[in-house]
Amino acid sequence: MYGLEDIKPKTGTMLKSVCYKRVSTPNQALTGHSLEVQDQLFQNFVSQNNITILKVFEDSGRSARDLDRPDMEELLDYCDDNAATVDLVLVQDSSRLARNVADHLTVKAFLKKRNIKLIPLDGSYYGDTDEGDFLDVIVAAVNQLESRRTGKKTKRIMKALAEKGMKPGKSPLGFCNSFQKDKPIYPDPERKHFIYKAYEMWISGNHTVYSITNILYEQGLRNTSGGKVNKNTMTNILKNILYCGGLSYDGVIYEKAAHEPIVPVDWYKKSLLMFEKRNKGANRTRKYTTLLAGYAHCLKCGSLMAAEYHPKGNYFRCKTCEKTYVSLEKADKRVSAFFHGTVFTEKALNNLRNVLLEVKQEQGTSVPEQLKTLRQRRDILDKKMKVLEDKMFGGDELVESERIKARYQPLKEELKQVDAQIIEMDKPSTNLKDSEIEKVIQGMKNIGELYDAMTKVQQKQFLRFFISKAFLEKERTITSFEFVPEFEALVSRNLVRIRSNWLRR
Ligand SMILES: [Zn+2]
């Protein structure tokens, strides 16, 4: 009747079950009658069918409101954790388990995914074939239940860990995750002495965070992807109580955590004081318009380059091949040289006026659209990463952790890129107005000087009517531009001449 004879135990020779019992009213629980009946039912069933009971979950005498997160949740957690062992879930009848059919099927599908059979003992067992189609319809519901559950469960586990003095989640640089339940993080043998040095240098007052990252890089400190530890990460290291043996989670600070500290507590306190001291008076915010941000590409590998701002000079750097560094200032000068070498014919100026008007119209619509798309992409990435993070740090599926990490890394990279694009596009609009376009046309006759007379922000705005990409190289700074189609059309029809002192590809 239950098809039990077709099931092979996952482990050992006997089928293993968990039981769930529940009483509908507190009264029934008080008399104990109903629960006893259910116990008896389970006992009879397992002895007749040669089944072991691993655990019994019981929601007894609770108010209806409490039943929102009763033992049911724990039962699902248990089945999730022990999916490799549990063969069956036994309930007196389906109504014990869930309040409606949809919930019932959802729970059943959740169990089915873990290859666990749900057996209601009242005979209302319907085989796996009939509701196959129906299961499809409620896959969405299952996913919702699962994600909600995973999130809650992870949070619960993490909070419990923090209370025990265990750092929940991924360990920061300098520590390693033990990847074992109830084991704290431990100092990374390869990196802990770098952390020690970083604190030592910082509290001495003789170094900036930036210089510390450089010195330690030279001495061999690498981040988890093998690169240089950046300034933000270093700042976080120097401000994190974790390194002196404390723990901060969810707004609560635990001064004495279970892991081994890397630096003494008074070093940590001195480090915080040093940040306060340095921040006073040093509150200059960088105001620098990066002309070629979003345009600069590495000639060697084609990647979009990132601008970096250092006390000694500002550079575009290729983070992909690591081979190309170009000074921002030099690159900007090359752009100016390009415009000085560009001559428009009368016919071209008329054409250009039309092009500018068209592009202006397009600006109004395309940016918000692109932003919307980028934001949607970011949300998707965020969700995917959360799911993987839950898997990595929820304490489950240890075996799979390497595979999960491999899936996680590319998402992280993409998120970084998407974020950068959003920041770039999200800046206040500086779209050209009609009157400004006329001025531009007049100035076109001497476009180089016109360009030089503009502010950086205007130059940047101007640039996008001409250029879609700039290719950078260490020796020659900018080797070539990729033009926007409208401008390319003018150039190819000889309406614009570009002097040979500015090499094109
Ligand atoms: Zn490159």
Q: Which amino acid is at 98?
A: A
Ligand 1 centre and the CA of 76: distance in Å?
49
Ligand 1 centre and the CA of 232: distance in Å?
23
Q: Which amino acid is at 237?
A: I
Rounded to whole angstroms, how far apart are CA atoms 272 and 266?
10
| Overall average pLDDT of the 14-18 stretch | 93
Domains present along the chain, CATH in parentheses = 4-137 (3.40.50.1390), 175-279 (3.90.1750.20), 314-498 (no CATH)
Q: Is 323 helix (H, G, I), strand (E, B) or coil?
A: coil
Ligand 1 centre and the CA of 301: distance in Å?
4
Ligand 1 centre and the CA of 314: distance in Å?
17
Rounded to whole angstroms, how far apart are CA atoms 391 and 157?
12
- Joined together, the tokens standing for residue 344 give 């428009």
- What confidence tens digit (pLDDT) does each residue in 372-386 have? 778 888 888 888 888
Ligand 1 centre and the CA of 3: distance in Å?
62
**Sign of the Cα pseudo-torsion (75, 79, 80, 81, in order):** positive
Ligand 1 centre and the CA of 190: distance in Å?
29
Are 477 and 334 in contact by the 8 Å Cβ rule? The answer is yes
Residue where the block lists tokens 């996008």: 464
| Other Cβ atoms closer than 10 A to 367 | 14
DSSP 201-269: HHHHTS--HHHHHHHHHHHT---TTSS---HHHHHHHHH-GGGGT-EEETTEEESS-SSPPSS-HHHHH
Strands (E), 409-500: 467-473, 477-483, 496-498
Does residue 424 carry a pLDDT above 50? yes
Are 452 and 461 in contact by the 8 Å Cβ rule? The answer is no
Does residue 503 carry a pLDDT above 60? no
Strands (E), 10-86: 15-22, 51-59
Ligand 1 centre and the CA of 468: distance in Å?
18
Are 447 and 469 in contact by the 8 Å Cβ rule? The answer is no
What is the overall mean pLDDT for the chain? Answer: 77
Are 322 and 336 in contact by the 8 Å Cβ rule? The answer is no
H or E segment to which residue 316 belongs: strand 313-317
- What confidence tens digit (pLDDT) does each residue in 392-419 have? 666 554 545 677 777 888 888 888 888 8
- What confidence tens digit (pLDDT) does each residue in 310-333 have? 777 888 988 888 777 889 889 999
